């Protein structure tokens, strides 16, 4: 990395620049990879916070997207429309949850919605948003875990090991997608412990 990354602004501009170097298809892979990671790491919380089969709907949306991507294609408009429709059916039963929502569950859902949009439109900013949603989730978790976290300067956020590791992981995935990668299920968890 030529320039040090400390703030969310540094992160956003650097990630956007890196994502411009890959094709729309690879940006779809990156977006799905980010959304898949968030859903997998927060599965228990999402299951607790959303009613009924909503977790399963989220899982199925990502499975369908991955099925297409691993078959070397972006989901068709009809499929994306159906996924959008399925996504819009997720609605917390409790009106308070619907209005406030748990921040991490909101971020997970945002990542999946962004993934659908990233497949629909060839827009670097959508893929960048998928990565930033993961960063936002870690930022929220750090704020919950460490009482003095919020007191630190936003310009120092990437000095925290968790955020620094996520940044390095995202950049490694983008670099991998620029090379000779193989389309198989291992892409879903690549660079993730």
Which token pair is 116?
Answer: 């659908």
Classify residue 1: in a domain, yes or no: no
CB 92 within 8 A of CB 49: yes
- Whole-angstrom Cα distance, residue 64 to residue 161? 33
Per-residue DSSP letter, 4: -
* pLDDT for res 10: 86
Per-residue DSSP letter, 123: -
**What is residue 78's three-state secondary structure?**
helix
Residue 40 neighbours by CB distance under 10 Å: 15
Classify residue 2: in a domain, yes or no: no
Classify residue 193: in a domain, yes or no: no
The range of the structural domain enclosing residue 100 comes to 8-188
CA dist list (Å): 12 to 5, 64, 132, 136: 9, 28, 7, 12
* pLDDT for res 96: 45
Classify residue 161: in a domain, yes or no: yes
Classify residue 182: in a domain, yes or no: yes
98-103 long-range contacts, CB within 8 A, separation 24+: 101/49, 102/45, 102/49, 103/137, 103/140
* pLDDT for res 99: 47
* pLDDT for res 154: 66
CATH of the domain at 181: 1.20.1590.10
**What is residue 1's three-state secondary structure?**
coil
pTM of the model: 0.91
Which segments of 42-155 does DSSP mark as H helices, in order?
A: 43-49, 54-70, 77-88, 95-100, 103-120, 124-145
Classify residue 3: in a domain, yes or no: no
Classify residue 55: in a domain, yes or no: yes
* pLDDT for res 97: 46
Which segments of 71-102 does DSSP mark as H helices, in order?
A: 77-88, 95-100
Of the candidates 92, 143, 90, the residue with the CA atom closest to the CA atom of residue 112: 90
Of the candidates 34, 58, 32, 33, the residue with the CA atom closest to the CA atom of residue 45: 58
* pLDDT for res 9: 85
* pLDDT for res 159: 82
Of the candidates 24, 16, 14, 5, the residue with the CA atom closest to the CA atom of residue 128: 16
Domain count, the chain: 1
CB 172 within 8 A of CB 136: no
pLDDT tens string, the chain, 193 residues long: the values are 446 787 788 899 999 999 999 999 999 999 999 999 999 999 999 999 987 789 999 999 999 999 999 999 999 999 999 999 999 988 655 444 454 678 999 999 999 999 999 999 999 999 999 999 999 999 999 988 887 777 776 667 788 899 999 999 999 999 999 988 999 999 999 998 6
């Amino acid at each position: 990395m030529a320039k040090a990354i400390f703030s969310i602004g540094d992160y956003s501009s650097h990630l956007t620049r890196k994502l411009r170097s890959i094709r729309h298809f690879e940006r779809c892979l990156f977006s799905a990879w980010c959304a898949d990671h968030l859903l997998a790491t927060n599965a228990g919380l999402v299951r607790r916070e959303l009613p009924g089969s909503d977790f399963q709907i989220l899982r199925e949306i990502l499975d369908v997207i991955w099925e297409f991507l691993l078959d070397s294609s972006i989901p068709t408009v009809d499929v994306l429309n159906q996924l959008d429709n399925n996504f819009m059916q997720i609605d917390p039963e409790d009106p308070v949850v619907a209005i406030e929502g748990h921040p991490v569950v909101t971020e997970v859902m945002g990542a999946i919605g962004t993934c659908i949009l990233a497949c629909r439109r060839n827009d670097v900013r959508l893929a960048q948003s998928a990565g930033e949603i993961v960063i936002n989730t870690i930022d929220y978790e750090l704020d919950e875990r460490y009482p003095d976290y919020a007191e630190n300067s936003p310009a120092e956020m990437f000095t925290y090991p968790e955020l620094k590791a996520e940044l390095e992981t995202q950049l490694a995935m983008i670099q991998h997608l620029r090379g000779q990668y193989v389309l198989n299920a291992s892409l879903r968890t690549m660079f993730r412990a």
